[in-house]
């Protein structure tokens, strides 16, 4: 079974703090994704990465950055946290094209971040 | 570019009744279509995936979905709802040109005793 883990289930930070959210997958997936989930807005893609050191902006990258130094790890960074970044953050991974598992995203349990 | 519409942000059914959650995609037939389920305070879990092998796709927990090209739909059904089915359900489609999935806004399924 694919396992995607996230460093924290719940996190409380103060406005202006630098925040690191870590995601690790154990299935050698090339693609990794960071989403935020807010009530009524569904999942919105922040950033994704299709290879080590590669990253692409998603729909809402402002206020966020990412790092992928190793294949299994994808970090989301909030350079200066703000209250409007209070949300549920979900990490996912997938294989690239080819095979029955193509494009199937596997999710971690999520990190509920509160910025005070 | 694709878009996905899920009709109804909340759907309420009685325990034992039919569950029908609606999903429509916007344009050309996407390579893959998905249904995911999210239980409270958890990540998303794959329910089922359409890969063009068969129009009726069976998933976990007794759910199935039927791909209808003429209606651009991929509705999710379950013959008899159980209290444990209470969750949020997301429909998604893949894009031809990249690795991303296009997500619907989600439908929260409420089961009445």
Q: So what's the pLDDT on residue B41? A: 84
Nearest chain A residue (CA) to B44:
A107
- Judge whether residue B16 has pLDDT over 70: yes
Which residue out of A39, A103, A112 would a mutagenesis test of the B interface target, given it has the greatest number of B Cβ atoms within 10 Å?
A: A103
C-alpha–C-alpha distance, residues A52 and B107, integer Å: 35
- Convert the pLDDT of each residue in B25-64 to its tens digit: 987 777 789 999 999 888 999 999 998 778 899 999 999 9
From chain B, the residues in CB contact with A102 under 8 A are 31-32, 94
CB atoms within 10 A of CB B1: 7
User: Residue A69 burial by CB count (10 A; 0-12/13-18/19+): exposed, middle or buried?
Assistant: exposed
What's the pLDDT band for B98 if we cut at 50, 70, 90?
low
CA dihedral A21, A26, A29, A32 (to 10 degrees): -10
- Convert the pLDDT of each residue in B74-85 to its tens digit: 999 999 999 999
SS3 of chain B: the string is CCCEEEECCEEEEECCCCEEEEEEECCCCCCCEEEEEECCCCCEEEEEEECCCCCEEECHHHCEEEEEHHHCEEEEEECCCCHHHCEEEEEEEECCCCCCEEECCCEEEEEEC
Q: Single out the residue of B35, B95, B29, B99 nearest to residue A97, CA to CA.
A: B99
Is residue B52 less than 8 Å (CB to CB) from chain A?
no
- Judge whether residue A116 has pLDDT over 70: yes
Residue whose pair of structure tokens reads 């995601």 in the numeric block? A23
Which tokens in the block code for residue A19?
A: 């925040």
C-alpha–C-alpha distance, residues A59 and B65, integer Å: 28
C-alpha–C-alpha distance, residues B54 and B58, integer Å: 10
Q: So what's the pLDDT on residue B5? A: 94
Which tokens in the block code for residue A15?
A: 């406005």
Q: So what's the pLDDT on residue A98? A: 64
Q: So what's the pLDDT on residue A99? A: 65
Contact B85, B98 (CB under 8 A): no
Is residue A69 less than 8 Å (CB to CB) from chain B?
no
The answer to whether the CB atoms of A43 and B90 lie below 8 A apart is: yes
Q: Single out the residue of A75, A105, A62, A95 nearest to residue A8, CA to CA.
A: A75
Work out the percent of chain A whose per-residue pLDDT is above 90: 78
What's the pLDDT band for A100 if we cut at 50, 70, 90?
low
For range B66-77, the mean pLDDT: 93
From chain B, the residues in CB contact with A42 under 8 A are 90, 103-106
Chain A nearest CA to B58, separation (Å): 15
């Amino acid at each position: 079974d694919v396992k995607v883990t996230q460093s924290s289930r719940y996190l409380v930070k103060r406005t202006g703090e630098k925040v690191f959210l870590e995601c690790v997958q154990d299935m050698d997936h090339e693609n990794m994704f960071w989403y935020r989930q807010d009530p009524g807005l569904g999942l919105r893609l922040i950033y994704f990465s299709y290879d080590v050191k590669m990253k692409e902006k998603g729909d809402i990258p402002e206020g966020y950055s990412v790092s992928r130094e190793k294949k299994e790890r994808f970090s989301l960074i909030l350079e200066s946290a703000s209250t409007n970044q209070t949300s549920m953050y979900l990490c996912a991974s997938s294989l690239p094209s080819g095979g029955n598992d193509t494009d199937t995203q596997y999710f971690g349990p999520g990190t509920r971040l509160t910025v005070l | 570019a694709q878009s996905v519409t899920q009709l109804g942000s909340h759907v309420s059914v009685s325990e034992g009744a039919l569950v029908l959650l609606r999903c429509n995609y916007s344009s050309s037939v996407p390579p893959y279509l998905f249904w995911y389920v999210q239980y409270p305070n958890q990540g998303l879990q794959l329910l089922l995936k359409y890969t063009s092998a068969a129009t009726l796709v069976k998933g976990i927990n007794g759910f199935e979905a039927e791909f209808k090209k003429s209606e651009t739909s991929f509705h999710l059904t379950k013959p008899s709802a159980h209290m444990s089915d209470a969750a949020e359900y997301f429909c998604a489609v893949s894009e031809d040109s990249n690795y991303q999935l296009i997500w619907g806004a989600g439908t929260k399924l409420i089961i009445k005793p």
